[in-house]
Chains A and B, each alone.
Chain A
Amino acid sequence: MKKSEKSKRAKLANLIMQAPLAVWMIAFVLAPFALLAFMSFMTKGPLGIIQYKPTIANYKEMFNPVYATVIKQSLVVAVWTTILTVLMGYPLASFIAKVKAKTSSLLTVLLMLPLWVSGLVVLYSFVILLNSSGVINSFLMSIHLIKEPLELLYNNFAIIVGMIYMFLPFAVLPMYSSIEKLDPGLIEASKDLGAGPVKTFFKVTLPLTSPGIFAAVILTFIPCIGYYMVTDMLGGGTSLMIGNLIYRQFTVSRDWPFGAALSMVLALIIFLMVFIYTKLGGDLDDLGA
């Protein structure tokens, strides 16, 4: 009797703790996504009014060559940013994993600090740094290394630099945690067995830290496609990415169904990547730390 009373109360206590999160997720994540999926199959009427007639025209529309260039541009920037971020971030992550615990937490804080304060304002500083009469060009011209200012701003170079700046700190964290978890005994063993440092790195360290690398890939690739601000600010509106295109459907073009369809495709690509990541043994929690 007493026991069942106790377990009943335990159940009730658990329910009270669970309810807010459950309600929140259903109301503000699952329901909006269900609507997004539904809307992507609707028809756009005149003046942006939605007609509730099912169609797959929104998905077909993406194969229009106009949008193909946008998708290609997004992929070029996202792929380059992701590759460079991982290549640049991995040595930093291994450095943070190597130093004393105190130093490593200090380095992590210092790494995140500019973004915590204001990613957007700091990002704008790249306009000051990179423009034709900006800090870098003035410096290079004053030491007579170049005669004409280099075109550093309003192109893919500037966009990729800005993207790396925004996402590298986040990409370093999961790589750091997987390098830190690495058993140093394995490295020793590999060396004792006669493998050189290069071979040890490629045969032992790299495969064992690959979940961290894949997490970094996801953390860079996903926001990269969606962040229309970087493209706007440093690309100067010359190039559109999928993020910009979605944004336009809800502002200038007023075509919600097409915007919803684009969002759905983006979400499905991401889900596929995350699915592969978890199948490879990756931990979802590493994406949020």
Chain B
Amino acid sequence: MKKKTLVNKIHKIYVILLFLFFYAPVAVMVVFSFNTSKANVVWQGFTTKWYSKLMGDSELWKIFGTTILIAVLTTVFATLIGTMGAIGYKKSKSRFAKLITNSVYFPIVIPEIVLAVAMFMIFNTAGISLGVPIIVIGNTTICLPYVYITVKSRLVGMDPSIEEASLDLGADRVYTLFHVTIPQIMPGIISGAFMAFSLSLDELIVTSFLADAGTTTLPMKVYSMMKKGVSPEINALTTIIFAVSILGVAAYLIFDAVKTHQDAKAKHKLVDL
């Protein structure tokens, strides 16, 4: 028994150390957003000037805007097409259906660079000029499989008789889709959409292959700065994004805790009745 608790303790310490490894670079990123040195390599002193500089940096905000625009459009397309596809191909077993549903896994298992190169060549060969719309197509192709998989796993767990009951009771297909199927798979759609958005936000390889000269996204900007050193302004911007994400997670946790508490209360009442 004593040996077991010791093993458990070591296990816990190991996990804590691993999380330290994961958050050390994040801490460095936050701390160095307050660093006076522009070189962003050695700590010199405390300042908030990068945050005020960031506020007035129209070029960086424009890049940020482009990045968000691409991520939002990507999320919309990926979520729509991925969800529709997961529902549509739920029961199909034809060879063509197999070809399509198997090809959905391509973008996940193939290294991004290979996909980027293949798309770059086809748009060039077809004479289509690159730019934001093409980047959105590329990003959607990368993100769509994640939506498809999360939605599909929800659909698998769904009781098919509920849909049938709705149809038998006289509801048409559109009504059934929006009032029965979609509410049931909503958690899958949301987590897929979230995944698509965050993947697109950080997407570099496909985006840089499909970008025209006038288009820059945040990851492209960071990558281009790498050789000279990434500006602390970027740290400041990422710190803000990070803080917003943490707040989002915290809000979700609180919301979830309150909801479970209420659910438990409601259940309790039900039992009392």
Contact between A129 and B28, CB atoms less than 8 A apart: yes
0 or 1 for each of B201-226: is its CB under 8 Å from A? (1 = yes): 11011000100000000110011001
Contact between A118 and B125, CB atoms less than 8 A apart: no
0 or 1 for each of B124-163: is its CB under 8 Å from A? (1 = yes): 0100000000000110110011101110110000000000
A229 to B224, CA, bound (A): 11
- Report if A142 contacts B (CB, 8 A): no
Q: How large is the interface on A (under 10, 10 to 19, 20 to 34, 35 or more residues)?
A: 35 or more
- Report if B259 contacts A (CB, 8 A): no
Assess A287 versus B105: contact at CB under 8 Å? Given A18-B88, A233-B226. yes
Contact between B81 and A114, CB atoms less than 8 A apart: no
Contact between B105 and A28, CB atoms less than 8 A apart: no
A232 to B26, CA, bound (A): 20
Contact between A121 and B29, CB atoms less than 8 A apart: yes
Contact between A250 and B209, CB atoms less than 8 A apart: yes
Contact between A226 and B32, CB atoms less than 8 A apart: no
Contact between B202 and A119, CB atoms less than 8 A apart: yes
CB-CB under 8 A from B173, the residues of chain A are 9-10, 13
0 or 1 for each of A26-37: is its CB under 8 Å from B? (1 = yes): 101111110110
0 or 1 for each of B233-248: is its CB under 8 Å from A? (1 = yes): 0110010011001100
Contact between B18 and A88, CB atoms less than 8 A apart: yes
Beta-carbon nearest neighbor of B138 in chain A: A28
Question: Which stretch, B52-60, B106-114, B263-271, touches the partner chain A?
Answer: B106-114
Contact between B148 and A218, CB atoms less than 8 A apart: no
Question: Which stretch, A55-63, A131-139, A179-187, touches the partner chain B?
Answer: A131-139
0 or 1 for each of B95-131: is its CB under 8 Å from A? (1 = yes): 0110110011111111111110111111001000000
Identify A289's interface contact among B125, B137, B150, B209, CB under 8 A: B150
Contact between A124 and B230, CB atoms less than 8 A apart: yes
Contact between A21 and B81, CB atoms less than 8 A apart: yes
Contact between A114 and B22, CB atoms less than 8 A apart: yes
Number of residues from B at the complex interface, CB < 8 A: 87
Contact between B121 and A32, CB atoms less than 8 A apart: yes
Assess A118 versus B113: contact at CB under 8 Å? Given A17-B88, A18-B85, A21-B85. no
- Report if B1 contacts A (CB, 8 A): no
Beta-carbon nearest neighbor of B96 in chain A: A22
- Report if B23 contacts A (CB, 8 A): yes
Contact between B145 and A288, CB atoms less than 8 A apart: yes
Beta-carbon nearest neighbor of B226 in chain A: A233
Beta-carbon nearest neighbor of A37 in chain B: B118
Contact between A114 and B118, CB atoms less than 8 A apart: no
Contact between B202 and A115, CB atoms less than 8 A apart: yes
A250 to B81, CA, bound (A): 30
Interchain nearest-CB distance for A27 vs B (Å): 9
0 or 1 for each of A130-163: is its CB under 8 Å from B? (1 = yes): 0101110000000000000000000000000000
Contact between A121 and B118, CB atoms less than 8 A apart: no
- Report if A240 contacts B (CB, 8 A): no
Identify A285's interface contact among B41, B80, B99, B153, CB under 8 A: B153
Beta-carbon nearest neighbor of A197 in chain B: B7
A233 to B157, CA, bound (A): 43
Most buried by A among B23, B82, B238: B238
Assess A127 versus B41: contact at CB under 8 Å? Given A120-B219, A165-B25, A250-B209. yes
Contact between A29 and B103, CB atoms less than 8 A apart: yes
CB-CB under 8 A from B230, the residues of chain A are 121, 124
Identify B118's interface contact among A32, A233, A285, CB under 8 A: A32
Interchain nearest-CB distance for A154 vs B (Å): 12
- Report if B62 contacts A (CB, 8 A): no
CB-CB under 8 A from A29, the residues of chain B are 103, 106-107, 115, 141
- Report if A189 contacts B (CB, 8 A): no
A262 to B195, CA, bound (A): 30
A223 to B121, CA, bound (A): 21
Contact between B22 and A128, CB atoms less than 8 A apart: no
Beta-carbon nearest neighbor of A113 in chain B: B245
Assess A36 versus B202: contact at CB under 8 Å? Given A91-B15, A118-B241, A122-B26. no
- Report if B48 contacts A (CB, 8 A): no
Given contacts A18-B97, A31-B122, A95-B11, 15 further A-B contacts (CB under 8 A): A10-B173, A18-B88, A25-B104, A29-B141, A106-B253, A111-B19, A116-B198, A116-B202, A227-B111, A229-B204, A232-B226, A246-B114, A260-B121, A263-B117, A288-B105
Could you jot down 25 A-B contacts, CB within 8 Å?
A16-B88, A19-B88, A20-B84, A21-B81, A21-B144, A24-B141, A29-B106, A29-B141, A31-B122, A32-B119, A92-B14, A113-B246, A115-B202, A119-B202, A121-B29, A122-B29, A125-B25, A227-B113, A243-B111, A243-B113, A246-B114, A263-B114, A267-B111, A274-B109, A289-B149
The 9 closest A-B pairs by CB, nearest first: A226-B111, A21-B85, A17-B88, A125-B25, A32-B118, A18-B88, A125-B28, A288-B149, A116-B198
Q: B-side interface residues toward A, CB under 8 Å?
A: 11-12, 14-15, 18-19, 21-26, 28-29, 32, 40-43, 80-82, 84-85, 87-89, 91-92, 96-97, 99-100, 103-115, 117-122, 125, 137-138, 140-141, 144-146, 148-150, 152-153, 173, 198, 201-202, 204-205, 209, 218-219, 222-223, 226, 230, 234-235, 238, 241-242, 245-246, 249, 253
